[in-house]
Amino acid sequence: MISFSKSSASSTLASLLCCACGLGEVGADHDAFAAAQAAKRAALDTVDTTEEETSEDSPGRRQTEIQEIAGEGVQPSHDEFLDDADPDGSSPFDLATVDVGPQCKSVDDCAAGAGPCVKRECNNGKCVYPPVTCPPAAGDDCDVNECDPATGECKFGGKPDGTACDDGISCTSASECKGQACVGTVVDCDDGDACTDEKCTFADGCKSTPKSAALCDDANACTTDKCEPKSGCAYNNLTAQEPCSDDNVCTVGDACLAGKCKIELPQPCEASTVCSTLTCDAKLGCAIPPVLASTGTQCAAGGYGCVAGVCSKLWATAVAVGASHACALQFGGTLACWGSNSTLAIGGAALTDQITPTVVVPKGVVQVAVGTGFTCYIVASGAVMCRGKNDHGQAGASPGSPVENPKEVKPLVSATLIAAGDSHVCAQAGPVGNEKVFCWGAGTNGQLGNTTSISDEFSPQTVSGLGKIQALAAGGGNTCALVDGVPYCWGSDAFPWANPKASPKKGAPAPVLDVDGLQSLVVGTQHACGLSASKLPICWGSNSLGQLGTPANAGQIAVVKPTFANVIGQSAATGHSCLVLSGTGAVVCFGSWAAGQLGEGNFSSPATVIAGGAVAVSSAGYATCARMADGSVSCFGAGPNGTPLANFTVPGSGPVPK
């Protein structure tokens, strides 16, 4: 390392500096350059190359010595510098090129910077003073991160409100800082054209596109639709009588009129009848299934009604079964009966037993009830008529011989309900608002509801404590009436299930315990059943033969709910019960099979007797008849005089004669 001694080399270094000052005028003369080189060597010979072994030999100290030597006022002349110049015009004695060694070894060798925001660094042996730099702020254009002059630390802050900024959103303008956030004003892209849609996208800014043609579509075939740039959608009516379509295949001759499609004529559907009406559907036309009239709707004179959309001869609209005969009510009020006529229940003395139905009343009958050997019915006037067996006065006459010709039971008027047991009859009659229940015939078991005289009565007796009822049923020596959904029963001593805990006075109607919400009733010899509003069957009474729908139990009198749902009809007889199931119309029976009343064989559990098609059922004694949807009647069990009627079908429907 070369060292400069201040005492011995100052003049020599001054000469060197002077030479350096003249290098700017160096010419191209080779001799001059050689002379300068010789002068340089002579000057170097004067430098003390002895290394000083002192503590002052530090880079900072050497720099100071050079500055002191250079500052002693020695000013080399221009010519001297010219003599020492190199051919490229530079001089080895220029201060910028003199190698004086490193200025620093570490940052501690460097003087302090100008302030906290100026750093000091030792870089390649030289002290440098760069400013403190802070990383960019993480927020938007209104955030800054600057050096704090007080601490020298980077400090996050915001630009003053109102400073212009760029929020990077193409759909805003005039953005400026507000609360350290860059906020712009939303650009209004409206181009003033009603027929374009304007929108602003981040990438493209405001763009206008033509509106969809469907925008001005008024779905009117009788107008032209267009869009006017100034006013928007405009509609003009087509020429009058221009053909059009209302999209309804049920109309024809459609044409435009005053901007609307006028319907000229309806398109009728052919082949509609009273029983099957074809309606036109706007889309499908007449090809949809027809609407069928209700079964029994009158479609022609003479007892014809609708069955499954066909006008047919309706043989039966109702059926009633007794122990030895049965009757069916036909459309129009015709009453036909069949079975035993030994007690004149069907016709006059000359009439024998009838295996096939015989018309006994040509018209006017509205309701019928059949007992053991007698028949009673209500006619259109509200009168009650009876005929047949009369040993207890059940035919409405003084007890004695059978009544051959129908006899009116007086003083009953305006009768609406009627029911018959083995030897007694009950009916609801009286003016509207003053209806009462009356009973006559056999009464020794209290079945007439008369608590003052427990005896036979051929004159109707008023049943006390009932008023208007909703349903009436009788069987054996018992009677039940439905009052506000609750069954009230009275009658036979063998019928204690009416209200065994109350022990009512004989003949007095008593509510059946734990049964309510019923809509219909049927009564057998020692049991009864009803249907709830939800079409569930409920039975009570004796179950000695399984007639309640559960395994036989001679002592059972509690309420039983057979495991069937959606029941539309039911019946009760001496020892069996039957149900008609909704949907299929199947007839299911349970109980005694002694006379084949369950259809076939021996059954200890419910059996399906009719597979389907039934709408109602009636039972008495050991016989059952079902009224079918087509108006026919199918019977099974013991018939007249015990003759089996299994699968016996009464003539029924047929097409209207052409």
For 584-602, what is each residue's pLDDT tens digit?
A: 999 998 888 655 555 444 3
| Cis bond upstream, residue 431 (ω within 30) | no
CATH topology of domain 311-650: Methylamine Dehydrogenase; Chain H (2.130.10)
At 442, the amino acid letter reads A
**Minimal CA–CA distance to 98: which of 73, 51, 121, 65?**
65
How many other C-beta atoms lie within 10 A of the C-beta of residue 162? 9
Cα–Cα distance for residue pair 419/495, rounded to 1 Å = 18
Cα–Cα distance for residue pair 522/419, rounded to 1 Å = 10
Q: Does the pLDDT value for residue 402 go beyond 80? A: yes
**Minimal CA–CA distance to 424: which of 400, 391, 465, 468?**
391
**Minimal CA–CA distance to 614: which of 565, 562, 649?**
649
Q: Does the pLDDT value for residue 33 go beyond 90? A: no
The phi and psi torsions of 56 (rounded to 5 degrees) equal: -80, 0
Residue with tokens 């015009």: 89
Cα–Cα distance for residue pair 304/297, rounded to 1 Å = 8
Question: Which pLDDT score, from 0 to 100, does residue 542 have?
Answer: 84
Q: What is the mean pLDDT of residues 92-121?
A: 72
Burial of 112 (0-12, 13-18, 19+ CB in 10 A): exposed
Q: Tokens in use for 210?
A: 């033509």
Cα–Cα distance for residue pair 278/383, rounded to 1 Å = 42
Q: Does the pLDDT value for residue 168 go beyond 60? A: yes
Residue with tokens 């009369």: 390
Any idea where the domains of the chain sit in the sequence? 6-83, 238-267, 272-310, 311-650
**Minimal CA–CA distance to 449: which of 488, 409, 412?**
488
pLDDT tens figures, 202-222: 777 888 888 766 678 877 878
Higher pLDDT, 307 or 353: 353
Confidence of residue 277 (pLDDT cuts 50, 70, 90): confident
DSSP 117-181: TB--EEETTEEE-PBP--PPPSS-TTEEEEE-TTT--EEEEEPPTT-B-----TTEEEEEEETTE
The phi and psi torsions of 200 (rounded to 5 degrees) equal: -115, 130
Strand 486-491 and strand 436-441: the pairing is unpaired
**Minimal CA–CA distance to 525: which of 456, 474, 454, 560?**
474
The phi and psi torsions of 426 (rounded to 5 degrees) equal: -130, 145
The model scores a pTM over 0.85: no
For residue 467, give Cα distances in angstroms to 430, 452, 481.
Answer: 11, 18, 10
For residue 637, give Cα distances in angstroms to 397, 500, 618.
Answer: 32, 33, 12
